[in-house]
């Protein structure tokens, strides 16, 4: 069994080029080397070692036993045409077979992806990934499929997989009571007002961005109703590899180290379909259930951390009593061995915590918060101080 790459037009063109050369020459048994220089690369590509590839999501395997190269490629050319038309899933012939698993173009689940470094784990409901190319492919798959309906996919890196995605404001050791939920929301809203009065925020030149103040506080350590996400898969992978160590008596002292956990997780999340932007609030967009803020647009680059991390945040529109998680926003989970993820990231300077979390000397928005923000209530945590 020899696998023939069939990624689309280019390979199909070379297949037909060989066949056309043979037909024009009048010699059906002409070899690819004799057919012309343009087909020599195809000769080595087709008759060499095993190769695995895709044709619009379909894996193509060609059985060449007791068959000439010309007959094999006749069958292959026919298979490429039918695969692109989507007419059949299996082609069986007298002396060979071409089979591929059909991927439903409407599928929205990572379990549809297999092979080439990807394997679905049904027990854990995660997609195991063993190569950086496979990671890019898995992330791009949902981006493409959901993007056809106007829904974008964002990433969140985690060193562990928790049962629920709960904003930091509502995280407790035990069940969250309605009283605690209401009290914390009130504390947060009052603190945001106090921070504005203390001029703890830098204003944009053209647009005031008060709608983003709470999201900014979340990005710098305050517990809020927002959930941190990014739109860069490699930034998400960085957070999936590193643990944030907090001081026992000073939880606002942060130190990032490589996680000891065997696996790293990248969550693929979508705020929903039909996302539309608010022209009066640049960087803010909404869906039926969620609000999204892109801090690279909503806040000036004097807030350097969101720009360094490709930072976005989103939250539910409303938080009814006891309903604080974001289950409907989770569209898939990719799992990578932590040692592999660390190797993919490498040891370059761009992956240093000093760069991912710029110090206040460079991050003017961070410096303003440290200098002017009022004292933070205990339930809201505090502005994080990142140490190397």
pLDDT digits (tens, 9 = 90+) for 98-130: 333 333 343 458 888 888 899 999 999 999 999
The rounded percent of the chain whose pLDDT value lies above 90 is 51
Residues 378, 234 share a domain: yes
* Residues in a beta bridge with 311: 230
- Compute the average pLDDT of residues 85-100: 36
In-domain check, residue 224: yes
pLDDT: is 56 or 161 the higher one? 161
Identify whether residues 209 and 323 lie together within a single domain: yes
Contacts of 177 (CB under 8 A, 6+ apart): none
Joined together, the tokens standing for residue 153 give 């996919």
Q: What is the pLDDT of residues 194-247, one digit of tens each?
A: 999 999 999 876 666 889 999 999 999 999 999 999 999 999 999 999 999 887
Domain endpoint, select from 99, 120, 141:
99
Distance CA 373, CA 387 (A): 20
Mean pLDDT across 14-36: 45
Sheet containing 385-387: give its strands across.
Answer: 242-246, 253-258, 385-387
**pLDDT grade for 295, boundaries at 50, 70 and 90:** very high
**Domain span including residue 144:** 110-387
Q: Residue 95 pLDDT > 50, yes or no?
A: no
CA distance 38 to 19: 12
Rounded Cα distance, 233 and 155, in Å: 6
DSSP secondary structure code for residue 328 in this structure: G
Domain end point (choices 54, 80, 99): 99
Spatial distance between the Cα atoms of 247 and 285, rounded to a whole number of angstroms: 36
Give how far the C-alpha of residue 312 lies from the chain's centroid of Cα atoms, to the nearest Å. Answer: 13
Q: Is 315 helix (H, G, I), strand (E, B) or coil?
A: strand
Q: What percent of the chain has pLDDT over 70?
A: 71
Give the model's pLDDT for residue 99. Answer: 34
Q: Indicate whether 104 belongs to any domain.
A: no
Q: What is the dihedral of CA 303, 305, 311, 313, to 10 degrees?
A: -70
The answer to whether residue 303 sits within a structural domain is yes
Q: How confident is the model at residue 252 (pLDDT cuts 50, 70, 90)?
A: confident
Last-in-domain residue among 99, 118, 152: 99
Rounded distance between C-alpha atoms, residue 304 and residue 103, angstroms: 42
Same domain, 246 and 338: yes
Q: How far is CA 69 from the centre of its chain?
A: 41
Residue 331 lies in a domain: yes
In the predicted model, what is the mean pLDDT of residues 86-99? Answer: 35
List pLDDT tens digits, range 135-185: 999 999 999 999 888 899 999 999 999 888 899 999 998 889 999 999 999
Beta bridge partners, 381, equal: 222
Does the structure show a pLDDT above 80 at 371?
Answer: yes
pTM summary value: 0.72
Domain count, the chain: 2
User: Is 349 within 8 Å of 355 (Cβ atoms)?
Assistant: yes
- Same domain as 154, residue 23: no
Task: Looking at mean pLDDT, say which of 23-27, 205-209, 254-258, 302-306 comes out highest.
Answer: 302-306
């Amino acid at each position: 069994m020899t696998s023939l790459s069939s990624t689309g037009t280019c390979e199909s063109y070379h297949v037909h080029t060989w066949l056309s050369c043979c037909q024009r020459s009048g010699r059906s048994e002409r070899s690819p080397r004799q057919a012309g220089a343009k087909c020599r690369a195809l000769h080595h590509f087709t008759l060499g070692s095993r190769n695995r590839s895709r044709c619009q999501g379909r894996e193509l395997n060609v059985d060449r036993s007791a068959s000439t190269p010309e007959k094999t490629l006749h069958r292959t050319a026919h298979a490429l045409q039918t695969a692109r038309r989507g007419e059949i899933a299996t082609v069986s012939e007298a002396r060979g077979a071409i089979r591929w698993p059909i991927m439903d173009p409407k599928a929205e689940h990572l379990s549809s992806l297999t092979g080439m470094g990807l394997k679905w784990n049904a027990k854990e409901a995660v997609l195991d990934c063993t190569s950086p190319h496979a990671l890019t492919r898995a992330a791009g798959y949902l981006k493409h499929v959901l993007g056809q309906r106007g829904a974008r996919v964002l990433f969140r890196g985690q060193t562990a997989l928790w049962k629920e995605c709960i904003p930091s404001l509502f995280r407790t050791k035990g069940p969250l009571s309605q009283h605690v939920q209401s009290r914390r929301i009130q504390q947060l809203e009052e603190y945001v007002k106090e921070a504005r009065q203390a001029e703890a925020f830098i204003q944009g030149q053209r647009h005031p961005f008060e709608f983003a103040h709470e999201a900014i506080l979340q990005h710098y350590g305050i517990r809020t109703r927002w959930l941190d996400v990014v739109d860069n898969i490699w930034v998400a992978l960085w957070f999936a590899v590193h643990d944030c160590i907090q001081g026992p008596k000073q939880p606002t002292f942060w130190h990032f180290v490589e996680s000891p956990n065997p696996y790293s997780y990248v969550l693929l999340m979508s705020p929903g379909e039909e996302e539309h932007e608010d022209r009066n609030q640049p960087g803010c967009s909404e869906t039926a259930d969620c609000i999204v803020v892109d801090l690279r647009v909503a806040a000036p680059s004097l807030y350097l951390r969101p720009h360094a991390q490709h930072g976005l945040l989103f939250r539910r529109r409303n938080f009814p009593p006891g309903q604080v998680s974001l289950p409907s926003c989770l569209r898939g989970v990719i799992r990578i061995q932590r040692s592999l993820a660390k190797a993919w990231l490498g040891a370059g300077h761009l992956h240093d915590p000093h760069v991912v979390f710029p110090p206040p000397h460079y991050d003017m928005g961070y410096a303003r918060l440290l200098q002017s923000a009022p004292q933070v209530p205990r339930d809201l945590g505090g502005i994080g101080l990142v140490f190397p």
